[in-house]
């Protein structure tokens, strides 16, 4: 390696970076594959049934029990072996639970947004069915069956209230207790008012849908405006990594100093704490600007 102008420590660091990049790419590929398989299964349920053999079901259970974030453990172990330091292994083990929580939080946000879209579609579909001459109970059944995002809501209580003569506004209020479906309270209020006074239900549902669309458009606009500051914060957080790579390319071997000296370990710990504090502060500011979801 010396004949090629590359010292052993720098080659060691480059090898560790390459292995970490490959393991990270593998984790990303597994995550994208799970999302693609789930999307195909929702669009074509028959394909899922034909492909769901016993070994596939067992593999799906294993993936559910062993999240993809566990790849951080072998990643950290490999980096620790290449760097001859336990710090990368400890960092990989410590990052598993926060990364799982972050993924679950993002999934909850996606589910909440899907429910918001489903409530808007439900109100609009109800209004459309009522204008075609359907009775309110018929409109509920046809609207629920035709929802593109119907899997985001649980219409069991609503359909039971319609078919068994229960309280439809009570079922809508119960539906509004799910995160993201709070707009169903407006539909419940419209149903309650129209059943008591005989006022137009379609017009009220249209106004509820328009109000929910306006709230969603405002939220999307704020999120788009915050995309730039968030990207800048992430880029600034990654600058130390580029600094380490530049130092290794110049032959300074910063990993040796950070991982094998007392002062380097102290600097690494303080830098990690400051990085986390900066990202958490930026995320808190962005969430406060977006307002309650």
Q: 79-135 pLDDT, tens per residue?
A: 888 878 888 888 888 888 888 888 888 888 888 888 888 888 888 888 888 888 888
Domain boundaries, the chain: 114-216
Q: From CA 90, how far away is CA 73, in angstroms rounded?
A: 9
- The 10 Å CB-count burial string (b at 16+, else e) for 58-89 is eeeeeeeeebbbebbeebbebbbebbebebbb
Q: From CA 171, how far away is CA 163, in angstroms rounded?
A: 12
- The 10 Å CB-count burial string (b at 16+, else e) for 34-53 is eeeeeeeeeeeeeeeeeeee
**Cβ(87)–Cβ(259) below 8 Å:** yes
Q: Is the pLDDT of residue 291 over 80?
A: no
CA distances from 252 to 96, 208, 240, 261 (A): 31, 63, 15, 14
Q: Specify the DSSP class assigned to residue 181.
A: -
- What are the tens digits of pLDDT across the range 225-254? 888 888 888 888 888 888 888 888 888 888
Where would I find the H helices in the chain? 8-43, 45-51, 54-65, 72-83, 87-131, 136-145, 156-164, 168-175, 184-197, 201-249, 254-260, 262-290
Q: What is the pLDDT of residue 33?
A: 53
Q: What is the pLDDT of residue 228?
A: 85
- What are the tens digits of pLDDT across the range 262-286? 888 899 899 989 988 888 888 888 8
| The two structure tokens encoding residue 200 | 């137009």
**Cβ(158)–Cβ(168) below 8 Å:** yes
**Cβ(259)–Cβ(13) below 8 Å:** no
Q: What is the pLDDT of residue 129?
A: 86
- What are the tens digits of pLDDT across the range 18-48? 655 665 565 555 555 555 544 444 444 444 4
195: which residues sit within 8 A by CB, 6+ positions away? 169
CA distances from 23 to 89, 136, 181, 185, 269 (A): 14, 55, 38, 47, 24
**Cβ(28)–Cβ(268) below 8 Å:** no
- What are the tens digits of pLDDT across the range 127-151? 888 888 888 888 888 888 877 655 6
């Amino acid at each position: 390696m010396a004949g090629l102008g590359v010292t052993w420590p720098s080659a060691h660091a480059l090898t560790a970076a390459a292995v970490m990049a490959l393991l990270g790419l593998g984790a990303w590929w597994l995550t994208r594959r799970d999302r693609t398989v789930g999307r195909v299964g929702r669009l074509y349920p028959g394909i899922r049934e034909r492909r769901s053999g016993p070994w596939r079901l067992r593999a799906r259970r294993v993936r559910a029990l062993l999240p993809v974030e566990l790849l951080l453990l072998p990643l950290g172990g490999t980096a620790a072996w290449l760097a001859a330091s336990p710090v990368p292994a400890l960092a990989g083990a410590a990052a598993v639970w926060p990364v799982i929580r972050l993924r679950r939080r993002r999934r909850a946000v996606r589910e909440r947004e899907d429910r918001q879209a489903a409530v808007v579609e439900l109100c609009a579909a109800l209004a459309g069915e009522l204008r075609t001459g359907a009775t309110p109970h018929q409109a509920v059944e046809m609207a629920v069956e035709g929802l593109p995002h119907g899997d985001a809501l649980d219409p069991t209580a609503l359909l039971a209230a319609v078919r068994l003569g229960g309280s439809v506004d009570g079922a809508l209020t119960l539906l509004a207790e799910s995160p993201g479906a709070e707009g169903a309270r407006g539909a419940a209020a419209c149903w309650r008012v129209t059943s008591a006074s005989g006022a137009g239900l379609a017009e009220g549902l249209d106004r509820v849908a328009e109000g929910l669309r306006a709230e969603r458009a405002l939220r999307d606009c704020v999120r788009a405006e915050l995309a730039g500051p968030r990207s800048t914060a992430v880029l600034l957080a990654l600058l130390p990594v580029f600094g380490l790579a530049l130092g290794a390319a110049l032959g300074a071997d910063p990993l040796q100093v950070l991982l094998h000296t007392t002062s380097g370990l102290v600097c690494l710990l303080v830098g990690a704490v400051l990085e986390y504090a900066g990202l958490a502060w930026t995320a808190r500011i962005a969430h406060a600007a977006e307002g309650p979801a």
